[in-house]
């Protein structure tokens, strides 16, 4: 029997992707347990969702630390206390130091609301509309020190409609995020792929 994997999720707000992960893990009986949800914002709504699910909900406020490096060190200490096999960023709105990223090399995932490498950073839906692209979407990737440029694991696409606003486009992209993120997290814990020499390598089931 395979050992139960341990997952820590990092959030900054409502945690809709976190909720999608928790729902999928329960419904599909993943060989994994979300052992903690950690936020850099004490008022993050997702913390209540985690607590209601019986999951440890922790806060490490970035404003309590004088710089990014000291915050990341404190955050790592809290994460490592849970001995995770995987750390999942789910709307965690902090730029991480290279030292933090390297510490979790090959076991740190993120989802970004664009088809990377297009539109890294913020305001992706507005920028997609301004650029006039016909297809938009979301990307799950391994985290590397370069913001939103890690090796791509999976992407989902949505058409950009002539009638779209930022909100309508964001809503359709978020629906796809809730599909592909649980799937890629489950595939990771099942050992279906890994980060090898900077590339995503798929393994036979």
> E strand or H helix at 193, and its extent?
strand 193-196
**Rounded mean pLDDT of 5-19?**
98
DSSP secondary structure code for residue 13 in this structure: S
Burial of 122 (0-12, 13-18, 19+ CB in 10 A): exposed
- pLDDT of residue 153 exceeding 80: yes
Burial of 66 (0-12, 13-18, 19+ CB in 10 A): exposed
Q: Is 105 a catalytic residue?
A: no
The pLDDT assigned to 3 comes to 75
- pLDDT of residue 205 exceeding 90: no
Catalytic residue among 62, 112, 125, 136: 112
CA distance 196 to 126: 34
Q: What is the pLDDT of residues 82-117, one digit of tens each?
A: 999 999 999 999 999 999 999 999 999 999 999 999
Fold of 5-202: Rossmann fold (3.40.50)
All structural domains of the chain with their residue ranges:
5-202
pLDDT more than 90, % of the chain:
97
**3-state secondary structure at position 66:** coil
CA distance 149 to 132: 22
What is the band of 1 on the pLDDT scale with cuts at 50, 70, 90?
very low
**Rounded mean pLDDT of 197-202?**
96
Strands (E), 32-165: 32-39, 56-59, 86-89, 108-112, 135-142, 152-159
Selection from 187, 202, 199, 205 nearest residue 88 by Cα? 187
**3-state secondary structure at position 2:** coil
What is the band of 135 on the pLDDT scale with cuts at 50, 70, 90?
very high
The pLDDT assigned to 33 comes to 96
Q: What is the pLDDT of residues 177-187, one digit of tens each?
A: 999 999 999 99
Q: What is the pLDDT of residues 48-63, one digit of tens each?
A: 999 999 999 999 999 9
Quick check: bond before 144 cis, omega within 30? no
């Amino acid at each position: 029997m395979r050992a139960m994997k341990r997952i820590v999720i990092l959030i900054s707000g409502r945690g809709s992707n976190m909720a999608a992960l928790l729902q999928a893990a329960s419904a599909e009986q993943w060989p994994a347990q979300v052992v903690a949800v950690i936020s850099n914002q004490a008022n993050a709504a997702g913390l209540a969702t985690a607590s209601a699910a019986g999951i440890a909900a922790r806060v490490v406020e970035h404003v309590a630390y004088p710089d990014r490096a000291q915050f990341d060190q404190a955050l790592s200490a809290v994460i490592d206390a849970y001995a995770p096999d995987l750390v999942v960023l789910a709307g965690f709105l902090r730029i991480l130091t290279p030292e933090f990223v390297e510490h979790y090399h090959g076991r740190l995932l993120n989802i970004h609301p664009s088809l990377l490498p297009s539109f890294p950073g913020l305001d992706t839906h507005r920028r997609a509309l301004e650029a006039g692209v016909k297809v938009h979407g979301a990307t799950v990737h391994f985290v590397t020190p370069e913001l939103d440029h890690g090796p791509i694991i999976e992407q989902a696409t949505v058409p950009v409609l002539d009638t779209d606003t930022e909100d309508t486009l964001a809503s359709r992209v978020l629906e796809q995020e809730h599909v592909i993120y649980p799937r890629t997290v489950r595939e990771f814990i099942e050992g279906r792929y890994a980060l090898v020499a900077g590339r995503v390598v798929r393994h036979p089931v």
